Each structure stands twice: as structure tokens, then as C-alpha cells.
């Protein structure tokens, strides 16, 4: 199974890092193909917790080559902070590769991100303020700065100057801020050039050669399907392609080379930031899920919004990603509930809707239609086979599998690396 894509199937924070880490023990490359340091992963190995923000999860697995693809936007300060922190903990980070075509997050875009979000007031999107959106906007406006630009001081300065021509006017005249100095930004970016140079590669060429040699490449999405800039709950989305198709544009590997697409999904639902969320629980049940599941952002520490499992979203994710498998995480969090509601459809303007509404207005007004499933009281964290789960837990998984239009091939029952039940081999 040479090329596998792992994507989030809800609004992020589903546990993609753990799923990628587990698969990483059997692959040669792990490629992050979208997002930036706004897409944190938590991985627990032998009781040690690692919080990754920009780096691919594969950096924690010996023998794996981790790659930051061209679809990622890179904050160089954060990159080296993460590398240094992992090195101090004994992790070998020497194999990291960074695409020459990946865009850099300059300091002025972090400033713009924060002030523009505050300027929106009640219409805020809920960004992390890390300059991700403005950097993707620069990319599409063709005023972005790429990793390869760091190695030509003259070109770099010209590009910074061109980008700041409009941005300084905006900062000064609209946001009442100081203008950004071209030389200061250029010097800061150049200070990273020699350290990053040994990591820089032609991402497309290296990955395609690896596939030609029969090596296994795993593509790891940041964010998730419902945050995808095209297919998510726009405008409350991220600025990149977080669905499976983004693996191709964000790495330079063609779609005919992808063999399997795995969607990671929680046994319930969470999201961070603003925007509609049909099954959200603003009550004791929501807080119970938040505390039991540790639902606080890896990158921001923000408490996540919580809700019951939404099969409408699961079916949508299966469709737009072309999923072959689901990996379900955090089933253990549901232990102790007498009954568990599952959203099977929506009510929109008095009518039942079984598929994702095709307008923002309809989705905003969607009300969940629930079916109740019997819960279980047993601790399932030590289960390692499907048969070891309580009967009602098995029934819950089989029910979700049936209504989500995709098989559930693995089930997470705890935070540890091996606290997973495998029903079908994800790389076979």
C-alpha cells in the first residue's frame, strides 16, 4: 500500500496525530501537506506526551522521513523552536525535509491576522492569530515569500518590499498601527536561511521517486474536512485544502498514486472557533465530554465546543474525501452514559434533511434529529480486540458504521500509542 492519505472527518482535533503515528511505524515517509502551526497534534508515546504544531507526526518515529510539503505555510521561528524542543527530549530530527516551494509566514502577517480579527468584532472567524490566513492570501495574490526565496537576498528584499507596499497602507491608515520596516523583515528571514538550507528539497521529486521505489508514503492533513476552504462551513474555515484532494496539490504527487484514504473521526463531535455546530451541547453533558475527553486545543489551549456524533457530517466526509476507512477515536470517553444520542439527520425549515445542506443558511438553522443508543458502564481502555468490548459498545460502533457509509477499521480506546483496536488492516 504505497500511498495513504489521513484526513480529519469533522472540525479537527479528531486524533489524526495518533492515527498517523501508529501508521508511521510501518511507512517510510510522513508528509504534512496543508496548514501551518495552527493545526496541533498530541501524541502519547510510553507515557510521554508530545504536542506538535507545525511538524509532521512522523518526526517521532525512528526510520521515518518527515516532510513539510509545498501546501504548508511555515513559521520559521516556530519550526526551529519545535525542532529544538524535540531534540532536547532525545528525538532525532535530522531527517526532516522541507519543500522549497512552501510559503513562509512573515512577521507582518501575524500582525495583520491579529488586528484584522479584532477589527471584525462580532463577525470574528476565530482564527489562531498566527498569520496563516494572510499568508495563504499572499500566496493566491502572488505576493508570497517561499522557502527558496531565503537563498537570494536581493530577490527576498524585493518580495518583502512588494508585499509591504499595500500592507503598510492598511496597517497605518485602517488599523492605526506602525508601518513595518522592509529591511528588518528581510534580515529576520535571512537569519534562518543557513539553518533551513540542508532540509530543503524538491518535495514532488523526492516523494514520487520514493513511490517509484515501492516505499510507503503517508500524507497527513492538518485541520479537517469541515474546515476545508472549499468544502467546509465557509467562512468559518481554515485557509487551506484540508480534504484528501489537498494531499496532491500540497505535495506534488498525482491523484492516481493515492491508494487509500483514511478519515479520522471521534465517537462524538467537537469544534474550535466560531461557526454553526448542529449537535453542540451547551450544558452539563457538553462539559462532561470536554473534561473526560481533554477537549482543549493543543496549539491555543482554548476549550473545544462539544456535541454528540453527527452522522450527516460523517457521510459528507466519506463522500468528499472518497474515504476507504474510518479510524474512530475516543470511544472510551463515552463509557458511563446510560443512553447516547446520535444525530442521524437534520430538520431544516420543518423538513427532514439526510445529507449536508447545500447552503450556509440552511446549515446554520439545522436542528439535529437524534436516535438514542444504549450506553455502557464498563471501562474499555484495556480492550485490544473488538470482541473484548462490551456488547453495547460494539453495537454502537456497528451502528455508526452502518449510518456513516464507511467501514470503521480502527477504534481508539485511550490516549496511548497502542490503545487501539484494529478491525481491518489500514495498510493491507
Q: Which residues are catalytic?
A: 13, 41
Helix axes 107-120, 132-141, angle to 10 degrees: 110
Residue 301 · residue 261 · CB < 8 Å: no
**Cell of residue 165, nine digits:** 507596499
3-state SS, one letter per residue, for the chain: CCEEEEEECCCCCCCHHHHHHHHHCCCCEEEECCECCCCCEEEEECCEEEEECCCCHHHHCCCCEEEECCCEEECHHHHHHHHHHHHHCCCCCCCCEEECCCEECCHHHHHHHHHHHHHHHHHCCCCCCCCHHHHHHHHHHCCCCEHHHHHCHHHHHHHHHHHHHHHHHHHHHHCCCCCCCHHHHHHHHHCCHHHHHHHEECHHHHHHHHHHCCCCEEEECCCCHHHCCCCCCCCCCCCCCCCCCHHHHCCCCCHHHCCEEEEEEECCEEECCCCCCCCECCCHHHHHHHHHHCCECCCCCCECEEECEEHHHHHHHHHHHCCCEEEEECHHHHCCCCEEEEEEEEEECCEEECCCCCCHHHHHCCEEEEEEEECCCCCCCCCCCHHHCCHHHHHHHHHHHHHHCCCEEEEECCCECCCEEECCCCCC
Handedness of CA 75, 222, 224, 57 (dihedral sign): negative
Tell me whether residue 395 is exposed, middle or buried, using C-beta atoms within 10 angstroms of its C-beta: 0 to 12, 13 to 18, 19 or more: middle
Residue 54 · residue 310 · CB < 8 Å: no
Residue 5 · residue 260 · CB < 8 Å: yes
Residue 300 CB partners (closer than 8 Å, separation 6+): 128, 272
Amino acid at each position: 500500500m504505497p500511498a495513504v492519505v489521513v484526513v480529519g472527518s469533522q472540525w479537527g482535533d479528531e486524533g489524526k496525530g495518533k492515527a498517523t503515528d501508529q501508521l508511521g511505524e510501518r511507512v517510510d515517509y510522513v508528509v504534512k501537506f496543508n496548514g501551518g502551526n495552527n493545526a496541533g497534534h498530541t501524541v502519547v508515546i510510553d507515557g510521554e506526551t508530545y504536542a506538535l504544531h507545525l511538524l509532521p507526526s512522523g518526526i517521532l518515529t525512528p526510520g521515518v522521513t518527515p516532510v513539510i510539503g509545498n501546501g504548508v505555510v511555515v513559521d520559521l521561528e516556530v519550526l526551529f523552536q519545535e525542532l529544538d524542543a524535540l531534540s532536547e527530549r532525545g528525538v532525532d530530527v535530522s531527517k526532516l525535509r522541507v519543500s522549497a516551494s512552501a510559503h513562509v509566514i512573515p512577521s507582518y502577517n501575524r500582525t495583520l491576522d491579529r488586528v484584522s480579527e479584532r477589527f471584525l468584532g462580532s463577525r470574528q472567524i476565530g482564527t489562531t492569530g498566527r498569520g496563516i490566513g494572510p499568508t495563504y492570501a499572499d500566496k493566491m495574490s502572488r505576493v508570497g515569500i517561499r522557502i527558496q526565496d531565503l537563498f537570494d537576498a536581493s530577490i527576498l528584499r524585493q518580495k518583502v518590499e512588494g508585499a509591504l507596499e499595500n500592507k503598510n497602507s492598511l496597517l497605518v491608515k485602517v488599523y492605526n498601527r506602525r508601518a513595518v520596516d522592509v529591511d528588518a523583515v528581510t534580515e529576520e528571514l535571512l537569519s534562518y536561511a543557513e539553518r533551513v538550507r540542508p532540509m530543503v528539497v524538491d518535495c514532488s521529486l523526492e516523494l514520487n521517486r520514493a513511490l517509484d521505489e515501492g516505499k510507503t508514503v503517508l500524507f497527513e492533513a492538518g485541520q479537517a474536512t469541515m474546515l476545508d476552504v472549499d468544502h467546509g462551513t465557509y467562512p468559518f474555515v481554515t485557509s487551506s485544502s484540508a480534504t484528501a484532494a489537498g494531499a496532491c496539490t500540497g505535495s506534488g504527487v498525482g491523484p492516481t498514486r493515492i491508494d487509500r484514504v483514511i478519515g479520522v473521526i471521534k465517537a462524538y463531535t467537537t469544534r474550535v472557533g466560531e461557526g454553526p455546530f448542529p449537535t453542540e451541547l451547551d450544558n452539563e453533558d457538553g462539559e462532561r465530554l470536554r473534561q473526560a475527553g481533554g477537549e482543549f486545543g493543543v496549539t491555543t489551549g482554548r476549550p473545544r465546543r462539544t456535541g454528540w456524533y453527527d452522522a450527516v457530517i460523517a457521510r459528507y466526509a466519506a463522500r468528499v474525501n472518497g474515504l476507504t476507512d474510518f479510524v474512530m477515536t475516543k470511544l472510551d470517553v463515552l463509557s458511563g452514559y446510560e443512553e447516547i444520542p446520535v444525530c442521524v439527520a437534520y430538520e431544516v425549515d420543518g423538513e427532514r434533511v439526510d445529507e449536508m445542506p447545500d447552503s450556509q443558511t440552511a446549515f446554520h438553522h439545522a436542528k439535529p434529529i437524534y436516535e438514542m443508543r444504549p450506553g455502557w458502564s464498563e471501562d474499555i481502555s484495556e480492550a485490544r480486540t473488538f470482541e473484548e468490548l462490551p456488547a453495547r459498545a460494539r453495537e454502537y460502533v456497528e451502528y455508526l458504521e452502518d449510518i456513516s457509509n464507511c467501514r470503521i477499521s480502527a477504534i481508539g480506546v485511550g490516549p496511548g500509542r497502542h490503545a487501539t483496536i484494529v478491525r481491518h488492516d489500514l495498510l493491507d
